[in-house]
Amino acid sequence: MSTPTDMHTAADTIVTRLQAVDTAVTALKARRERDPETLGDKILLFALPTIAGVAIGRIMQSVWSGVERRCIAGGNTKATTRLIASLSRTAISAAVAAVTNQLSSMAAQAIVNKHHR
């Protein structure tokens, strides 16, 4: 059987754990209140650069397919030319992707900042 002292100790342990949970919840609430961005803002900050990147990627793929068709139609099929074209395509695509990502991220942040004014 449990003695009153054991029950008191168990109750104290439960109260201590509940106070720890309450402290953690209070800290999370305070952190959420300090963060001015809403869920919609966070989605926009993620989605706009992603959608822009996908759109630009599709456009670049169409451009490169057209360039490749013209090169093949022109009779240019040398391996060296293909290597240089592939490296050029990769470098240009990476540069365009980086610029697109940077600009779309800046645009999304500007929209969020304007929303918070």
* pTM for the model: 0.58
Evaluate if residue 1 carries a pLDDT over 60: no
Region 17-40 average pLDDT? 86
Supply the DSSP symbol for 78: -
So what's the pLDDT on residue 78? 65
CA gap 10, 20 in Å, rounded: 15
So what's the pLDDT on residue 99? 94
Evaluate if residue 42 carries a pLDDT over 70: yes
Residues 6+ apart with CB under 8 A from 115: 41
What is the percent of the chain with per-residue pLDDT over 90, rounded to a whole number?
Answer: 35
